[in-house]
Structure 1
Amino acid sequence: MYTHRKQIVTAGVPADQAKKAMIMLHGRGASAVSILTLKDHLQLDDYAIFAPQATEHSWYPYSFMAPVSNNQPALDSALEMIGSLVEDIKQQGILQENIYFLGFSQGACLTLEYVTRNAGRYGGVIAFTGGLIGEKLMNENYQGDFNQTPILITTGDPDPHVPVSRVNETVSLIKKLNANVTLKIYKGRQHTVTAEELALANGILS
């Protein structure tokens, strides 16, 4: 099993000059550089952009629906690394309410898991095809108040990796923590990010 070294690829405005930050989390088998290509389709002109690289190109080894213990210590290591990056960004003078998150697939699951375990006011959260992590969701892991943070969750129906039932469970849990959720389920959509999803994301970013 592996832990994650803090390897961050950056883009956009230098953090000490930016008012907003975006953390982008790639999917399984992908890379920080690959998720950064989405920036060309997103309204991130005045953002400092941070894309962590997962060790061995995977944030945790098994399905996000496996028992959490099966995905340790990689999962805790990934969550700690994001927490450390958030602190770094705050130390550059960017407020938490101006920190945004975006993830795809495994990166979307990790994004939702991090923000829901640390619910507070963020700029916005964009989860392209993801849900909260674990065989069963443990409500006690999730606390705080999103204070109406806009959260976009999209998925295909069916999706080969992410059951719609888990997406719905995730939405219900984060709404209880006072998130302002937009859910879009696309019948028959491939495991990808579409132009419509990018347009919805830009609605949160602009």
Structure 2
Amino acid sequence: MSGALRLGAQGGGARAVCVLVHGRGQSPEEMQSHILSRLDVPEVAFVLPRAPGGAWYAAKAVDRLTADTRAALSAALDHLAADVAAARAAHPGLPLVLAGFSQGACLSLEYAFAGRPAPQALVALTGCRVGVPADDRPQSLPPLLPVYLTGSDKDPWIPVTAFAEAALELGLARAQLRTDLFPDRGHEVSDPEITMLQRVLDDFCTRSATGMAAPR
């Protein structure tokens, strides 16, 4: 299969849009079964981008940036930007939430920090910046962007130190930031994270902002 997967509300039935980015070795169909099936948001249109070969870039997120990784990341960001633009064109005027899991969360963070056309909110489920703090990385996050960032002290892909570094960079960039660290949680999307994504989407379906106020 190729191309983004489009699900949920369509046409005049949509009141918000969510672009949901899968992780390494995953697919839009897995995001549908692991995340969308646990949501109750009939007024949200979903666009699920598809990475060529199932990965957005080959390196680990916490590896130093190389020329090859920068090139792959740039191509992935262009791919994501095209899907975001297509989602906006299909649903003009609606608020758009950019969300991702694991490598998809990392890519979504890089999209926002790169100064690409901003979503109305960013939900990074188990994410961090790509590269290390010593790398020259974009710092063009729109101020006051609502961001929900999660992690775990036991996640095998995103160390808690990388999660904390991302939280620091988001704070310094003046994001409206909420973070949740889930002790002992595996590499998965937990029920509280689903509840928060549900609340963010509900907020945009009923008003123009989100308070990210779901219980943990």
- Smaller-chain TM-score range? 0.7 to 0.9
1:65 aligns with 2:54: no
Cα separation, 2, equivalents of 1:196 and 1:59? 26
Within-5 A mapping of 1:51-62: 51-62=48-59
Q: Higher mean Cα deviation, 134-143 or 60-69? A: 134-143
Which residue among 99, 107, 117 is the counterpart of 1:102? 99
Cα separation, 2, equivalents of 1:145 and 1:130? 18
1:21 aligns with 2:17: yes
Deviation at 1:138, TM superposition (A): 4.9
Deviation at 1:16, TM superposition (A): 6.5
What whole-Å deviation, never above 9, does each CA across 1:155-205 have from its counterpart, x for those lacking one?
110321111111111112122322111111111111111111111222222
Count the aligned residue pairs: 200
Within-5 A mapping of 1:166-185: 166-185=162-181
Structure 1 contact 120–145 (Cα < 8 Å) conserved:
no
> What residue number does 1:77 align with?
75
> What residue number does 2:127 align with?
130
Q: TM-score, normalised by structure 1?
A: 0.86
Cα separation, 1, equivalents of 2:196 and 2:133? 29
> What residue number does 2:213 align with?
none
Give the share of equivalent positions with the same residue, in percent. Answer: 24
Structure 2 contact 17–91 (Cα < 8 Å) conserved:
no
Cα separation, 2, equivalents of 1:26 and 1:86? 14
Deviation at 1:85, TM superposition (A): 1.7
Q: Residue 68 of structure 1 aligns to a residue in which SS?
A: coil
Deviation at 1:140, TM superposition (A): 5.6
Q: Residue 73 of structure 1 aligns to a residue in which SS?
A: helix
Which residue among 195, 198, 205 is the counterpart of 1:202? 198
Q: Residue 48 of structure 1 aligns to a residue in which SS?
A: strand
Q: CA RMSD in A?
A: 2.3
Q: Which amino acid aligns with 2:88?
A: K
Q: TM-score, normalised by structure 2?
A: 0.83
Name stretches of at least 5 consecutive residues in structure 2 with no aligned partner.
203-216
Closer, same or farther: CA 66–15 of 1 in aligned 2, 3 Å = farther
1:39 aligns with 2:31: no
Cα separation, 1, equivalents of 2:8 and 2:92? 14
Structure 2 contact 64–135 (Cα < 8 Å) conserved:
no
1:159 aligns with 2:151: no
Deviation at 1:68, TM superposition (A): 2.3
Deviation at 1:115, TM superposition (A): 1.6
Q: Residue 108 of structure 1 aligns to a residue in which SS?
A: helix
Deviation at 1:114, TM superposition (A): 0.7
Deviation at 1:83, TM superposition (A): 1.1
What whole-Å deviation, never above 9, does each CA across 1:114-163 have from its counterpart, x for those lacking one?
122227753321111110111336576121424x3321111110321111
